[in-house]
Amino acid sequence: MTVTCSEHPASLQGRPAMRRKVADAAALAAGYVALAMIAVPTIWVVAGVLQRAVPGWSWGVLTHTGAAGAGGLENEILGSLVLTAGTLVLAGGVGVLAGIYLAEYATGPAGAVLRGASEVLAGIPSIVLGYVGYLALVVALHWSFSLAAGLVTLAVMTVPYVMKSTEVALRQVPSAYREGAEALGFSPLQALRRISLRTALPGIVTGILVALAISVGETAPLLYTAGFTSANPSAALVHRPIAFLTYAIWTFYNQPSKSAVQLSFDAALILLVIVLLLIVVGRVIVSLSERHAETR
Amino acid sequence: MRRTALEPDPSDLATSRGHESSYPVLEASSLRLQFGSTTVLSDLTVAIPRGQITALIGPTGSGKSTLLRTLNRMNDRVKGFSHDGDVLLEGESIFGRNVNLMLLRRRIGMLFQRPNPFPMSIGDNVVAGVRAHRIAPRKQHRAIVEARLKEVGLWDSVSGRLADSPFRLSGGQQQLLCLARALAVGPDMLLLDEPTSSLDPGSVETVEALLRKLVPALTLVVVTHNLAQARRIAEQTMFLFGGRLVEFGPTAQLFESPNEPETMRYVTGRIG
């Protein structure tokens, strides 16, 4: 078979075809639109919260407990922080270990089952998980509304994100690193700990951050499992309800008193700050761990 | 030189044999290597002489790298890989049931075609193996870093930036760093898989000169596609072709008056 090429023009002079110019402009425009679709709502939300929270802001909300739209938000803040820290330990631990298992050890059906299960889990609406948590933990196990019930529910919800990001990050570790470690006589565990996990850390941290951001901003499952209280969190894992910020946002906003609405916006502002801090901490960890990375 | 048995059992052949230079350090007997049902190399019986550089030459697909990677058992985890026959290190089988792979690889180090420093500081790279094998207390690491970097001639250019990323170094410097890292665990032997093929000519010269300095303290096995390199650095040359060992002998003889017609055709550039 003969292949014929169209002849190239004799001269280098000439304008790019109109079609290419249009396509170029369209792609650029689409990029800007996409950027705007991310940036505008973000700025809108932050500005809206600031605008409503700041004028009536009082530092007292940080140091006073309260309920039903009066007093402060100390109980909610501490409750959310405890829940977030607990998720970090529980979902972070389980998720990272499961991710390591999937990336390094799982071969055949076991891995496929775990992967499939986690995808299904990630797809279950959080309110359904909350209700299941309510039936299983609060009622069947007699934990009542409690820190443990809330934590376990949040952890179940967020483990898939941590697991997936850990697995993906570990799979992206260049095989040259592993081979180098192996050839140097590292044990498999040493290679994993000193080379693979270190290299994968940015990806793992990002996954944990997403999990934490979800858990700190989640309302539905906690309504079913954590309950609410005007008291600060205690050491009790079960039988004692625990407050959280999104409850305040959700409930106080619908109350008639002006102070309750103000508290609701204060809670939203504090939540934004917490999420922002999480992101900053994550960025710092990522950039520290990447200072010797190949792709920088 | 330090000798650590691969197995805890002291009654291995190595001790009764002694380590005089007349004995080969590594011997392969009736070795056959295959991936799945494809035989890569068969019926290989050869003794690698101690304290010399042995070059492994042969066209692509002749099994050079597979053989090299078998010698420190890097093929173990490769899917479908299997072997027959045996490889003895100082008379002791490297495939023995109780062989400690960590110890084997501490004694037989490896350098790869592309430099592969770890994503940690230059200094940490040098002592990565030292740490893994707990060879020296932490306070000696600094001295080890300096000694090894001096040994490979990198010290002057990196002494001021030991905490920096190794990926800012040139390719040649990265390879030297990897060599320093391999030397730091005190191997008896180094396997080098085309160690200079990704380097610029200047770095090639540096690395080759360095390799010459490592013998006779160490035994080196170098896979190379570069026949001129084999002639420059190797005392012994092994020619693999068509899945078998065609010829093994002193480099000069193999290149100038080979016994086998295939060797002649390969070294004169008519096959390959």
Closest chain A C-alpha to B186 CA, distance in angstroms: 11
On the CB side of B228, CA atoms within 13 Å amount to 5
Judge: B119–A177 Cβ closer than 8 Å, yes or no. yes
| C-alpha separations of A296 from A279, A289, A291, B48, B200 in Å | 20, 11, 8, 42, 23
For chain B, give the percent of residues with pLDDT over 90: 76
ipTM: 0.85
State mean pLDDT over B18-30.
73
Judge: A292–B128 Cβ closer than 8 Å, yes or no. no
User: Cis ω on the peptide bond leading into residue B216 (within 30° of 0)?
Assistant: yes
| Both structure tokens of A186 | 């590292």
| Both structure tokens of A290 | 């990447």
B251 close to B57: Cβ distance less than 8 angstroms: no
Closest chain A C-alpha to B239 CA, distance in angstroms: 25
Whether B119 contacts chain A with CB within 8 A: yes
For chain A, give the percent of residues with pLDDT over 90: 56
Give the separation between CA A285 and CA B244, rounded to whole angstroms.
52
* Residue A222 burial class via C-beta count within 10 angstroms: exposed 0-12, middle 13-18, buried 19 and up: buried
**Chain A residues with a Cβ under 8 Å from any Cβ in chain B:** 174, 176-177, 179-187, 190, 194-195, 198-199, 291-294, 296
| C-alpha separations of A18 from A14, A24, A29, A30 in Å | 11, 10, 16, 18
Q: What is the pLDDT of residue B15?
A: 40
Backbone phi, psi, residue B206, to 5°: -60, -50
In chain B, which residues have their Cβ closer than 8 Å to the Cβ of A195? 118-119
Backbone phi, psi, residue A160, to 5°: -55, -35
State mean pLDDT over A89-100.
95
Backbone phi, psi, residue B224, to 5°: -145, 145
For residue B272, tell me if it sits in a domain.
no
Nearest residue in B to A288, CA atom: B120
Res A257 pLDDT > 90: no
Mutate to test the interface with A, among B69, B72, B77, B120 (most CBs of A within 10 A): B120
Q: Tell me what percent of chain A is helix, strand and coil, each rounded to the nearest 5.
A: 70, 0, 25
Judge: B129–A180 Cβ closer than 8 Å, yes or no. no
Judge: B129–A190 Cβ closer than 8 Å, yes or no. no
Judge: B118–A180 Cβ closer than 8 Å, yes or no. yes
Please give the residue range of the domain that contains residue B203: 23-116+184-267
Query: CB A33: neighbour CB atoms within 10 A?
Result: 9
In chain B, which residues have their Cβ closer than 8 Å to the Cβ of A293? 119, 165, 167
Q: Tell me what percent of chain B is helix, strand and coil, each rounded to the nearest 5.
A: 35, 25, 40
In chain A, which residues have their Cβ closer than 8 Å to the Cβ of B178? 180
Sign of the Cα pseudo-torsion (A7, A12, A15, A20, in order): positive
Nearest residue in A to B132, CA atom: A186
Q: What is the pLDDT of residue B6?
A: 65
What CATH class has A59-289? mainly alpha
Give per-residue burial for A243-264: e unless 16+ CB within 10 Å, then b: bbbbbbbbbbeeeeeeebbbbb
In chain A, which residues have their Cβ closer than 8 Å to the Cβ of B119? 177, 195, 198-199, 292-294
For residue B195, tell me if it sits in a domain.
yes
For chain A, give the percent of residues with pLDDT over 70: 97
**DSSP bridge partners of B193:** B223
Give the separation between CA B83 and CA B35, rounded to whole angstroms.
9
Backbone phi, psi, residue A144, to 5°: 60, -175
Count Cβ–Cβ pairs < 8 Å, chain A vs chain B: 77
Judge: B118–A181 Cβ closer than 8 Å, yes or no. yes
A205 close to A282: Cβ distance less than 8 angstroms: yes
Closest chain A C-alpha to B170 CA, distance in angstroms: 13
How confident is the model over A30-82, as pLDDT tens digits?
Answer: 999 999 999 999 999 999 999 999 988 888 888 888 776 677 888 889 999 99
Give the separation between CA A158 and CA A61, rounded to whole angstroms.
29
**Residue corresponding to tokens 């740490």:** B131
Backbone phi, psi, residue B195, to 5°: -65, -15
Judge: A190–B132 Cβ closer than 8 Å, yes or no. yes
Nearest residue in B to A199, CA atom: B119
For residue B82, tell me if it sits in a domain.
yes
Average pLDDT, chain B: 88
Judge: A185–B120 Cβ closer than 8 Å, yes or no. no
Q: What is the pLDDT of residue B4?
A: 54
Domain count, chain B: 1
Sign of the Cα pseudo-torsion (A181, A183, A184, A188, in order): positive
Res B16 pLDDT > 70: no
| C-alpha separations of A86 from A73, A78, A149, A212 in Å | 20, 12, 11, 10
On the CB side of B195, CA atoms within 13 Å amount to 33
Q: What is the pLDDT of residue B13?
A: 39
Q: What is the pLDDT of residue A277?
A: 92
Give the separation between CA B126 and CA B108, rounded to whole angstroms.
17
Judge: B167–A293 Cβ closer than 8 Å, yes or no. yes
Q: Which residue ranges make up each domain of chain A?
A: 22-55, 59-289
Give the separation between CA B71 and CA B156, rounded to whole angstroms.
34
- CATH number, position B36: 3.40.50.300
How confident is the model over A138-172, as pLDDT tens digits?
Answer: 999 999 899 999 999 999 999 999 999 999 999 99
B76 close to B64: Cβ distance less than 8 angstroms: no
Q: What is the pLDDT of residue B11?
A: 40
Judge: A296–B167 Cβ closer than 8 Å, yes or no. yes
Average pLDDT, chain A: 89
Res A259 pLDDT > 80: yes
Lowest-pLDDT range of A34-48, A262-276, B19-33, B136-150: B19-33
Mutate to test the interface with B, among A104, A179, A184 (most CBs of B within 10 A): A184
**Pure H helices in chain B:** 13-17, 64-71, 101-107, 122-126, 128-132, 141-151, 155-158, 171-183, 201-214, 227-233, 251-256, 261-267
Whether B19 contacts chain A with CB within 8 A: no
Q: By three-state DSSP, how is residue B78 classified?
A: coil
DSSP string, A102-150: IIII--THHHHHHHHHHHHHHHS-HHHHHHHHIIIIIIIT---S-HHHH
For residue B136, tell me if it sits in a domain.
no
Nearest residue in A to B192, CA atom: A183
Judge: B74–A179 Cβ closer than 8 Å, yes or no. yes
B258 close to B267: Cβ distance less than 8 angstroms: yes
Minimal Cβ distance to B74: which of A174, A177, A183: A183
> What region does B186 belong to: left with phi over 0, alpha with psi -120 to 50, or beta?
left
Judge: A292–B101 Cβ closer than 8 Å, yes or no. no
Judge: A194–B129 Cβ closer than 8 Å, yes or no. no
For residue B153, tell me if it sits in a domain.
no
Give the separation between CA B188 and CA B164, rounded to whole angstroms.
30
For residue B253, tell me if it sits in a domain.
yes
For residue B150, tell me if it sits in a domain.
no
Nearest residue in A to B126, CA atom: A184
| Both structure tokens of B166 | 């190794």
Q: What is the pLDDT of residue A233?
A: 85
In chain A, which residues have their Cβ closer than 8 Å to the Cβ of B117? 180
For residue B16, tell me if it sits in a domain.
no
